[in-house]
Structure 1
């Protein structure tokens, strides 16, 4: 106890007053992310940190890591925690480094078109800041109003605008990283502009989910604001038509800025909340940006293509509404007390098969699931199914978590892969990569972080609070057991949001 108190005082001294806390409330706030977890999960993981620190400068982060090393404390970096796989949640307690306070936009290099930011900068704020200077950031997560730059790039960075401008890996030019040793490095040469330098280490840390170091400064490629920016929305009779349309879009000679889809169940959820929502079997949202003449040409081209595929163009008002609501996919969680979202990348020509198999799974597990997503490139679609849950009914909520694992198995079957490992899906790496690659990844982790100090027990293996490792076979057995348990419950039912959780009629 005495040693713990001394360690806490050391962490408190590393940051300015008011940026350290060991209060139960602050620790509780940082013990979960977007996905609601039943309290029983605390039996397996020590999800509540011992202390929370909120540094403002890279040097403070480095000192925090050095102190953690001296006291043998685990370190969990945290952004806005807007993901749902436990990557920003401790599994063995320790110190949570909340990077949300590192929110400075350091500056814009107009000549190179690069903006430098700290990891806690929220995407929406960054875009507004750039807009005032005649620039925009055309790639960002759908959760842009709350998600941080550091969090998104650490999880791989696919989202809005990736179809035309690429992912985080295509647009992050350099990083400053605090390594598990407490040393700071720059991953690329500071003067290298858009071209990678020799031995550029940037991609090693993009998508590493904070397991190799803590990102403290980020250089991003940005672009001049477009002359014209136009969203359009097309309604289709069912999801078969939607995915056939996506295949045609991916093969078209012209390329929209953003291509997204939403199924009819999503709008049924909204109507169950008492909100106005369109009647449709599915929707495709196409967004165009660039010189006005080019945008007009693209709209005419895709308008004809969508009509030929059975789509009906909705009004401009509907299109503008759908575009403005792009960051609020989980607004229907008000029907219950929480929502859980899965994410996978699948070949665009296999998306319909994935959907059909997923719907069979939904029927078996007696669930109501909505599907949305977007094209990442001409061959890949991001699938984001989500379901509503009530973590207060912890047995049912826990059994429902198996849906994400089962859905990722379906994606793997058709040549896709899951997006995100974190704490809860770490064993999915065995479905994503071959064993030789996994062994190399483990060696990289062991070399950079031999003690497993930073976000240990995640990404390449699942580790419980007492250091117990859970292999893929045991994980698969557990998920199958939970799926069987879920099938024993009555079908999920939704009608309207009420304080007590789900109630009312059923949406098939």
Structure 2
């Protein structure tokens, strides 16, 4: 790695230069704010600071690509780490600093739609724009966004591109990278590039840079603007089917995937645990066992034909169609991350993909994993990614307030190993699972990726310690050997610990629904009572 003489320290001089670039009000060194920006969806216990310098030295809120370029150039010249951050709705440490430095808060000010192009059917937005903002703007013009994350109410377009995520709409229109037309990216030395074209496909035009930066998890450059495909909306009709046993959905799911003409917008499932826990948390949830949600989109006549075919697949497998009201409710509530967390617990999914032909078998593995790792089950949810791939997201509850709560990640390691037995793998790398890169790719591919990182970021300033290697603040690389030992140790410890009861305990500690009821009662006044 070049740049051995770089200071890598955020000095008062650097703070002054940052203030000159974005203004004094957009540079923040407050201790409390820095602590809040030191984790993502998975809060870390304070002991995590022993391994990582996960608190940024300074938080900067840029408004333009030019400001980002100036900040990155400053970091390049001094060797200070740059960590881009959207709304941090991921749970693998993707936007968590590993060596302090400058945290770029992209969502605070770089959150505007540049253009909705109804002629060429695309939308261009700044990287910190939420998917909900983009979806709503396109809906007003009669278009829909092809695919987006399940955390769309707050997740940002740049961050999801960075993970090349799988989400609602992806079965019909492809994942994030499939819908990327163009990106404006700031490279490690401050150079600004455009990766494609706003109104044209990127075919036969040299290296596909959209594919390069999509999935890089912010390690090769800072995405500042994105251009994304949109599609004529037609109607959207969710249809819900109930099954007594989750694994029985395997047959109709495979029937749908093998049909030459049926192409739903979205295929998703939720098990009985998921609904039971919603109700325990005081959240409205349908009184169903296990639910398969198939959402159709397009011309009304074509939608009716697709629905009739799927009805037959489900009936043959012992399922039954349930009310339109339940289907609409589940479609509206597809942002699963924001449900049971209201009770104050951490809920983390073990995101893995397996081949569709192993769908039913892997359901059994998810339930066995809960038992083997003594987890407190949240629910087995997921979606079909494409005709050959399904994404399982069995989630669990964890204690975010203690170091022992981190042992819950043993379930992620366990399920990743089980997925590999079924032709699958874990999803996402971040910091905590960066060592998986060596497990899911051959050695030559991993070496090429690391060479690309070194070449494009020779001073190692763009989101260092992520994806290609997980680094501690002591310079120790969390490689597959170290993490393999750690995973086995964590799984061993988790198996001998008592079964998790975090959700159950927090239901007793937090009484949100009682508070809401008491507020409603307080609005009722009986005159005369105050003087009796």
TM-score range, shorter chain: over 0.9
Q: 1:294 to 1:64 in 2, by over 3 A?
A: same
Task: Find the counterpart in structure 2 of residue 484 from structure 1.
Answer: 492
Task: Find the counterpart in structure 2 of residue 79 from structure 1.
Answer: 86
Q: 1:194 to 1:113 in 2, by over 3 A?
A: farther
> Structure 2 length normalisation: TM-score?
0.90
Distance in 1 between the 2:199 and 2:256 partners? 38
- Aligned match for 1:407, one of 415, 421, 426: 415
Is the Cα contact below 8 Å between 1:273 and 1:497 reproduced in 2?
A: no
Task: Find the counterpart in structure 2 of residue 54 from structure 1.
Answer: 61
Distance in 2 between the 1:270 and 1:317 partners? 17
Matches within 5 A, 1:413-432: 413-432=421-440
3-state SS of the aligned residue for 2:193? strand
Deviates more, 1:182-191 or 1:110-119: 182-191
CA RMSD of aligned residues (A): 1.9
Matches within 5 A, 1:405-484: 405-484=413-492
Cα distance, 1:20 vs. partner? 1.0
Cα distance, 1:3 vs. partner? 7.0
Task: Find the counterpart in structure 1 of residue 387 from structure 2.
Answer: 378
- Aligned match for 2:167, one of 147, 159, 162: 159
Distance in 2 between the 1:352 and 1:208 partners? 32
- Do structure 1's residue 286 and structure 2's residue 277 form an aligned pair? no
Task: Find the counterpart in structure 2 of residue 14 from structure 1.
Answer: 21
Cα distance, 1:102 vs. partner? 0.6
Distance in 2 between the 1:446 and 1:324 partners? 43
3-state SS of the aligned residue for 1:261? strand
Cα distance, 1:9 vs. partner? 1.2
Is the Cα contact below 8 Å between 1:238 and 1:280 reproduced in 2?
A: no
Cα distance, 1:190 vs. partner? 5.3
Task: Find the counterpart in structure 2 of residue 328 from structure 1.
Answer: 336
Cα distance, 1:480 vs. partner? 1.5
Cα distance, 1:390 vs. partner? 1.5
Matches within 5 A, 1:33-432: 33-100=40-107, 101-189=109-197, 192-193=200-201, 195=203, 197-226=205-234, 228-253=235-260, 254-369=262-377, 370-395=379-404, 397-432=405-440
**CA deviations over 1:181-220 (Å, ceiling 9, x no partner):** 1111111245634646333311100010000000111111
Is the Cα contact below 8 Å between 1:188 and 1:196 reproduced in 2?
A: no
Distance in 2 between the 1:457 and 1:393 partners? 24
Task: Find the counterpart in structure 2 of residue 506 from structure 1.
Answer: none
3-state SS of the aligned residue for 1:372? strand
- Runs of 5+ unmatched residues, structure 1: 503-508
Distance in 2 between the 1:134 and 1:195 partners? 27
Distance in 2 between the 1:284 and 1:335 partners? 26
Is the Cα contact below 8 Å between 1:335 and 1:496 reproduced in 2?
A: no
3-state SS of the aligned residue for 2:16? helix
Task: Find the counterpart in structure 2 of residue 505 from structure 1.
Answer: none
Task: Find the counterpart in structure 1 of residue 527 from structure 2.
Answer: none
Q: 1:189 to 1:230 in 2, by over 3 A?
A: closer
Deviates more, 1:85-94 or 1:280-289: 280-289
Cα distance, 1:436 vs. partner? 0.4
Q: 1:234 to 1:3 in 2, by over 3 A?
A: closer
Is the Cα contact below 8 Å between 2:359 and 2:390 reproduced in 1?
A: yes
**CA deviations over 1:206-261 (Å, ceiling 9, x no partner):** 010000000111111111221x2111110101112022332222122312111001
Cα distance, 1:305 vs. partner? 1.4
- Tell me which structure has the larger Cα radius of gyration: 2
Is the Cα contact below 8 Å between 2:283 and 2:339 reproduced in 1?
A: no
Cα distance, 1:467 vs. partner? 1.7
Distance in 1 between the 2:94 and 2:461 partners? 14
**CA deviations over 1:256-283 (Å, ceiling 9, x no partner):** 1110011111012122224443444421
3-state SS of the aligned residue for 1:444? helix
> Structure 1 length normalisation: TM-score?
0.94
Distance in 2 between the 1:337 and 1:38 partners? 13
**CA deviations over 1:86-131 (Å, ceiling 9, x no partner):** 0101001000011102111111233321211110111111111112
Cα distance, 1:169 vs. partner? 1.5
- Count of equivalent residues: 500
3-state SS of the aligned residue for 2:11? helix
Q: 1:17 to 1:336 in 2, by over 3 A?
A: closer
Deviates more, 1:197-206 or 1:485-494: 485-494
Distance in 1 between the 2:85 and 2:402 partners? 28
Is the Cα contact below 8 Å between 1:92 and 1:466 reproduced in 2?
A: no
Task: Find the counterpart in structure 1 of residue 509 from structure 2.
Answer: 500
Is the Cα contact below 8 Å between 2:130 and 2:156 reproduced in 1?
A: yes
3-state SS of the aligned residue for 1:222? strand
3-state SS of the aligned residue for 1:470? coil
Distance in 2 between the 1:111 and 1:71 partners? 45
Distance in 2 between the 1:367 and 1:495 partners? 12
